Copies of this chain bind each other. A is one copy, B any other.
Amino acid sequence: MHLEFWFDFGSTYSYPAAMRIETLAEQRNIPVRWRPFMLGAIFKQQGWTDSPFNIYPDKGRYMWRDMERVTSQLQLPWRKPSQFPRNGLLAARAVCTAPNARWVPGFCKAVFRANFERDEDIAAPEIISRCLTNSGADAQQVLADTGSAMTKERLHEQSRMAIEQHIFGAPSFLVGRELFWGNERLETALAFAAGTTSFPTRE
């Protein structure tokens, strides 16, 4: 079974998930579909106009410390971004120009590294252009396509799908109808996709 990886480029916990998912999925022979969406649109539905990590100080304080610990345990580079959350709209649209292209995983990881390793503004076209080039995409063409009506509609459709599938946070992993939320659920989601873990039927 394949796994859908739903994430937002501004989401802190999506970063370790993005950096880990390819190796872990290949080991278990699970195809992964990368599905960026606009988490802010979902937050708005819940009445939040900002990240809950900014709205609730203790939640935010905890998350920033936890990210130091999680990235240290995974031996991932980490620098707290000077702006949070960053706007991942352009990066998400870039993926939507060619959702199944070979360069997509490398591009997504490059964007996460720009945001959380180098504290770069991922809303800036020059940053996205560099991430595209470094992952083997035609940066000029992709950036031009991000402005097309079809690309914009694809991203809207993707965010609608996230809502329909009851996704409420990022990262989320969807395997069939089974939803898993949070970086530390990645292994369980992959085990379920591989058929090595099963769960009781739904009530």
Contact = CB atoms under 8 A, between A and B. Distances in A.
A68 B62 CA distance: 27
A102 interface: no
Contacts of A68: 199-200, 202-203
A118 interface: no
Interface residues of A, number: 26
Q: How many copies does the complex hold?
A: 2
B168 A56 contact: yes
A28 interface: no
A31 to B, nearest CB: 22
B203 A62 contact: no
Contacts of A166: 58, 61-62
A203 to B, nearest CB: 7
Contacts of A188: 69, 73
